[in-house]
Amino acid sequence: MTLRSRLLLAQAPLVLALLLLGTLAVVTLARVGRSGQQVLEDNYRSVLATQRITEHLERMDSAALFIVAGERERGAAQQAVQRPKLESELATQQGNITEPGEAEATQRLRAAWKRYQSAFDAFLQERDPEASRARYFESLSPAFQEAKASASAILALNQDAMVRKSDRLRQQSGQVNTLMVLAVAAALGFGLLFTTSLVQRALRPVSVLSQAVRRLGQGDVEARAVVEGRDEIAQLARDFNTMAERLGQYRRSSLGELLQAQAVSQAAIDSLPDPVLVLGADGGLLNVNAAAEAVLRLKLEEGGDALGRVEPEVRAVLERVRAHVVGGRGAYQPRGYEEAVRVESSPEGGRWLLPRGSPVHGETGEVVGATLILQDVTRLRRFDELKNDLVATVAHEFRTPLTSLRMAIHLVAEGVVGPVTEKQADLLFAAREDCERLQGIVDDLLDLSRIQSGQLQLDLREVRTEDLLEHALDAQRTVAEDRGVRLSHSLSPDVETVHVDPDRLQLVLGNLVGNGVKHTPRDGEVAVRVLRDGALVRFEVRDTGEGIPVQEQARIFEKFYRAPGAPAGGAGLGLSIARDIVQAHGGELGVVSAPGQGSTFWFTLPRPDAD
Ligand code: ADP
């Protein structure tokens, strides 16, 4: 049976009860109506008839009184009219005998009427007024009183009956009322009881289904709805069970896949030879690979405190990289091997580890942690040290012979040791230029090795910015003029002095201006500007040269890096040294450039009078 038919069936008891009640009400009302009508038929007609009979009797009496009063004609006519009327009313009464004793009373009335008529006839025969009057009082009036009394008896009989019947009717209608109230209450009670139980039975499967849905919603994929039958709810329950079954299968398969994927990725990071750590945004340890456990002696189970066992220096580096990444500044790339940190506790002895970091993103793209890789650069660092040692040694060894070579060439070229031909002089000048360039490279190398070996001791002094600029530009002026490049400088009045190591800063400025001149075509310009930038002093060296592609801009600060196609003569060290010197002063160095639009190299220094 369908749910619709069941619900319709559930209304049946109520409808049945209403039907029964309706029929009962109609029958009872009809009965009451009939009883009322009966009263009318039975008694009211007799009441009317006897009243009229009394009326006719009185008219006849007044006709007799007319005759007594001498109005014989009028009295005779009036009594003649009344007689048949009374006769007819009497006939009506005789045909409407309904009460016990009414037939005898009517007989008595008829007899009295008969006697009154004979008395009247005899009265009419009397012609003498005196005799008529005497007959009236002797026989006619008593006969009239008797007939009237008989009519009144019938009237009283019927009136009593009416009162009795009306009492009975009132009693009956009171009973009907009580019966109806009881019937309504019973019909409503039974109807509601049956309807509720039928509706409940029809809807029980809905609650079974809803319980199953709730359990599934709470994550219980084993929840099923057991509903028998073929109706819509049973069909819905079967569909629900199929859905729950599929959901269960899906969950089992996706959980398995998830575990497998986790095992695969753990195996992948464990296979990396370098330590890998995943830190949460709050610094808690989320994951580590086998190398990290071995080298840093970390244990994931130790949770948030795990980093507490790491050597303080390593921990500081890890914290710094994490803060960089979690702070939203993107991936962290080290600038060179000098950032490597030494770990002594490693099972293979001291190791140099170079930190890198990349962000871990949450579902909505926000940074929720950082993956830190500590690249083992022990061997590379060793090579770097060897290379630096070699470079320093070679540069040092080159310095003295180069100076004497330059001196010798200078003396010969100037003709101090004898005359030289023009051709010889040209060759000697070219050799002297090459010597000077070589000397520049050797100086750069020596600076670099000093900086790298931590020997960069700054001799900080208060210097006039104007003097600093003049010196730096003067050193480049001859070359700039030779190349047809204009040199200019401007200085904002609020940066009169700077607190720097003048020789070192001269080197930085000389380097940047020299690069600008080198990379600017004839008729171009190199402009130096010094201005205040909040709590900093900002130096800018702007040229109108070829500019630097974006992909080159980060690399030009690396040691020994020279852009492809760069003019010969440099060793790719100038910018690296300049940056080291600026950083040693507590500043930053960078570049803004685009191909074809020149370059602006800038660096900042803390202001001497800044708080
Ligand atoms: P080098 O002494 O070889 O010039 P630097 O470290 O001073 O080395 O510069 C590195 C590279 O940066 C150079 O090879 C050059 O290609 C590029 N570069 C530096 N300054 C400029 C500039 N003003 N305009 C264009 N390229 C420049």
Q: Report residue 305's pLDDT band, with 50, 70 and 90 as the boundaries.
A: low
pLDDT of residue 526: 96
**Cα dihedral 578, 581, 584, 588 sign:** negative
Contacts of the segment 271-277: beta carbons below 8 A, 24+ positions apart: 272/373, 273/376, 274/353, 274/373, 274/374, 274/375, 274/376, 275/353, 275/373, 275/374, 275/376, 276/371, 276/372, 276/373, 276/374, 277/318, 277/371, 277/372, 277/374
| Residue 201 to residue 595: CA distance in whole angstroms | 84
Q: Whats the size of the chain, residue-wise?
A: 611
pLDDT of residue 306: 67
- CB burial string 210-226: b at 16+ within 10 A, e below: eebeebbeeeebebbbe
Does 610 have pLDDT greater than 60? no
Q: From the CB of 275, is ligand 1 less than 6 Å away?
A: no
Which of 270-274, 337-341, 366-370, 607-611 bottoms out in mean pLDDT, i.e. has the lowest?
607-611
Q: Which of 487, 575, 597 to mutate to test the pocket of ligand 1 (most atoms within 8 A of CB)?
A: 575
The string of pLDDT tens digits covering residues 508-560 is 999 999 999 999 999 999 999 999 988 899 999 999 999 999 988 988 988 88
Q: Which two tokens stand for residue 174?
A: 């009171």
Q: From the CB of 562, is ligand 1 less than 6 Å away?
A: yes
Does 91 have pLDDT greater than 80? yes
Q: Which of 433, 450, 498, 446 is nearest to 472 (CA)?
A: 498
Q: How far is the CA of 563 from the centre of ligand 1 (A)?
A: 7
Q: Which two tokens stand for residue 498?
A: 């700077």
Q: How far is the CA of 508 from the centre of ligand 1 (A)?
A: 13
pLDDT of residue 302: 64
| Residue 412 to residue 429: CA distance in whole angstroms | 10
Task: Compute CA distances 595 → 514, 598, 609, whole Å.
Answer: 19, 7, 38
Atom of ligand 1 nearest to the CA of 516: 23
> What does the CA dihedral 407, 410, 416, 419 come to, rounded to 10 degrees?
140
| Residue 308 to residue 87: CA distance in whole angstroms | 138
Does 603 have pLDDT greater than 60? yes
pLDDT of residue 57: 94
Q: How far is the CA of 556 from the centre of ligand 1 (A)?
A: 6
Q: Which of 527, 529, 530 is nearest to 544 (CA)?
A: 527
Residue type, 528: V
Q: From the CB of 543, is ligand 1 less than 6 Å away?
A: yes
- CB burial string 11-43: b at 16+ within 10 A, e below: eebbeebeeebeebeeebeeeeeeeeeebeebb
Atom of ligand 1 nearest to the CA of 571: 3
Atom of ligand 1 nearest to the CA of 444: 2
- Beta carbons of 367 and 361 less than 8 angstroms apart: yes
The string of DSSP letters for 222-258 reads T------SSSHHHHHHHHHHHHHHHHHHHHHHHHHHH
Task: Take atom 16 of ligand 1 and give the residue whose Cα is closest.
Answer: 563
576 against 306, higher pLDDT: 576
CATH topology of domain 459-606: Heat Shock Protein 90 (3.30.565)
Task: Take atom 23 of ligand 1 and give the residue whose Cα is closest.
Answer: 516
| Residue 396 to residue 393: CA distance in whole angstroms | 5
pLDDT of residue 222: 86
Q: Is 208 exposed, middle or buried (0-12, 13-18, 19+ CB in 10 A)?
A: middle
Q: From the CB of 375, is ligand 1 less than 6 Å away?
A: no
The string of pLDDT tens digits covering residues 171-186 is 988 888 888 888 888 8
The string of pLDDT tens digits covering residues 19-46 is 888 888 888 888 878 877 777 777 888 9
Does 189 have pLDDT greater than 70? yes
Which of 53-62, 346-355, 575-584 bottoms out in mean pLDDT, i.e. has the lowest?
346-355
Q: Which two tokens stand for residue 531?
A: 């201005």
Q: Is 470 helix (H, G, I), strand (E, B) or coil?
A: helix
Does 373 have pLDDT greater than 90? yes
Q: Is 360 helix (H, G, I), strand (E, B) or coil?
A: strand
List the domain boundaries for the chain: 3-189, 268-376, 384-450, 459-606
Q: How far is the CA of 468 from the centre of ligand 1 (A)?
A: 22
Strand order in the sheet with 525-533: 486-491, 525-533, 536-543, 599-606, 589-593
562 against 547, higher pLDDT: 547
pLDDT of residue 455: 62
Q: From the CB of 599, is ligand 1 less than 6 Å away?
A: yes
Q: How far is the CA of 385 from the centre of ligand 1 (A)?
A: 25
pLDDT of residue 158: 92
525 against 365, higher pLDDT: 525
- CB burial string 104-127: b at 16+ within 10 A, e below: ebbebbbebbebbbebbeebbeee
Q: Report residue 129's pLDDT band, with 50, 70 and 90 as the boundaries.
A: confident
| CATH number of the structural domain 3-189 | 1.20.120.1730
Q: In the predicted model, what is the mean pLDDT of residues 375-396?
A: 84
May I ask the CATH architecture of the domain 268-376?
2-Layer Sandwich (3.30)
Q: From the CB of 570, is ligand 1 less than 6 Å away?
A: yes
Crossing angle of helices 141-217 and 3-39, in 10° steps, is 170
Q: Is 351 helix (H, G, I), strand (E, B) or coil?
A: strand
Task: Take atom 2 of ligand 1 and give the residue whose Cα is closest.
Answer: 570
Q: From the CB of 504, is ligand 1 less than 6 Å away?
A: no
Q: Report residue 434's pLDDT band, with 50, 70 and 90 as the boundaries.
A: confident
Q: Report residue 594's pLDDT band, with 50, 70 and 90 as the boundaries.
A: very high
Q: Which of 442, 526, 548 to mutate to test the pocket of ligand 1 (most atoms within 8 A of CB)?
A: 548
Q: Is 76 exposed, middle or buried (0-12, 13-18, 19+ CB in 10 A)?
A: middle
Q: In the predicted model, what is the mean pLDDT of residues 79-87?
A: 94
R_g over Cα of the chain: 67
Looking at every residue in the chain, the average pLDDT score rounds to: 88
| Residue 558 to residue 574: CA distance in whole angstroms | 10
Q: Is 167 exposed, middle or buried (0-12, 13-18, 19+ CB in 10 A)?
A: exposed
| Residue 563 to residue 572: CA distance in whole angstroms | 8
The string of pLDDT tens digits covering residues 343-361 is 887 777 788 999 999 999 9
| Residue 550 to residue 552: CA distance in whole angstroms | 5
Look at the block and give the residue holding tokens 């000098």. 338
| CATH number of the structural domain 384-450 | 1.10.287
Q: From the CB of 598, is ligand 1 less than 6 Å away?
A: no
Q: From the CB of 520, is ligand 1 less than 6 Å away?
A: no
Task: Take atom 19 of ligand 1 and give the residue whose Cα is closest.
Answer: 515
